Amino acid sequence: MFDLPYVIPMNIKMNYPIVTVVLATYNGEFFLPEQLESLAAQSRRPDRLVLRDDGSTDRSVELVQAWADRNGVALQQVRGPRLGPARSFMKALQMAEPADIFLFCDQDDVWQPYKIERALNLVPWGDDVAPTLCATRLEIVDEQLNPLRLSFLPTDLSFSSAACESLLTGCTMAFNAAFRELLVHALPEHAPMHDWWCYLLATSANGAALHFDPTPTVLYRQHGGNALGAGPVGWSALRARGLRFFGRNSTMRSRQLQEFAKLHGSALTPEAAAILCQLLAAKRGLMPRLRAAFTTPIRRQTFLATLTTRLALLTNRF
């Protein structure tokens, strides 16, 4: 459903990239105004905002509507049942009107004023361009936007990594229309988060490209209501790793990879397809688990994390 019908003239489309921000909200009225004002403060403003609200009982939708009217930004609203953050973002993207560049937007962060402009410089747009995803570093801040630390710089961005862990954050992502088509061609039902799914696709699909920008473009706010925060450090990180290994979500990765193989298995690079087959084969018995644990070229950010993943494969907890 459209709250504001909006058609961009054809002569403008030919020379001017159409930028769409995809925003998912759920009871976000407390922090939402600051996020919206950071969109208005962009050196290159968005042309369209796609909003999917996931059943808020507060004024989130009204705040977005008022902001769009006040700033002259076309608003497309996508309505439907409660889906959770991952499926809500994916559904909003699927229903979005055509554009050249798309950016995911969380409800509680603040964008640096150059975020969209940098995305346009890094992501190719137009006809006959490769499906391209770009993600950036984060500046992690507290509830009052006081700086805490920068997010880590990943050392390896490949399917060998993406199959095991999510290293890219959705609120930093920008991608072109070609990559959007890959995403919405077949929507997952069980992906833990939309950004992990994007990372998998960008590192495995034939012809896809992934760029990482080390310049932080988002103030990533940490507060009690985060759907998924920046993650623990130090001993807390070790404890979290143990809970993932022994807890009920210990096989989350294999469930996601099974769905990924079903939806995209026929369109992967040979290298990614081989890794995927070997990891999924680990569910078939002891010998396939041994092969997967000791021969699959999986790579995580630290030696300990890689070792833990191989142990998870060996003990059928992947």
Q: Residue 31: name the closest of 225, 172, 230 by CA.
A: 225
Provide CB contacts within 8 A for 127, sequence distance 6+.
none
User: Across the chain, how many H-helices and E-strands are there?
Assistant: 13, 9
- Cα–Cα distance between 32 and 202 in angstroms, integer? 29
The band of 225, judged by pLDDT with boundaries at 50, 70 and 90, is low
Least confident piece of the model among 35-49, 152-166, 233-247: 233-247
The band of 11, judged by pLDDT with boundaries at 50, 70 and 90, is very low
**Structure confidence at residue 7 (pLDDT):** 42
**Structure confidence at residue 224 (pLDDT):** 73
- Cα–Cα distance between 41 and 113 in angstroms, integer? 6
The band of 15, judged by pLDDT with boundaries at 50, 70 and 90, is confident
Cα 172 to Cα 81, 218, 235, distances in angstroms? 26, 7, 27
Q: How many other C-beta atoms lie within 10 A of the C-beta of residue 308?
A: 19
The band of 230, judged by pLDDT with boundaries at 50, 70 and 90, is low
Provide CB contacts within 8 A for 200, sequence distance 6+.
159, 162, 163, 256, 260
pLDDT digits (tens, 9 = 90+) for 61-116: 999 999 999 999 999 999 889 999 999 999 999 999 999 999 999 999 999 999 99
Average of pLDDT values for 1-30? 71
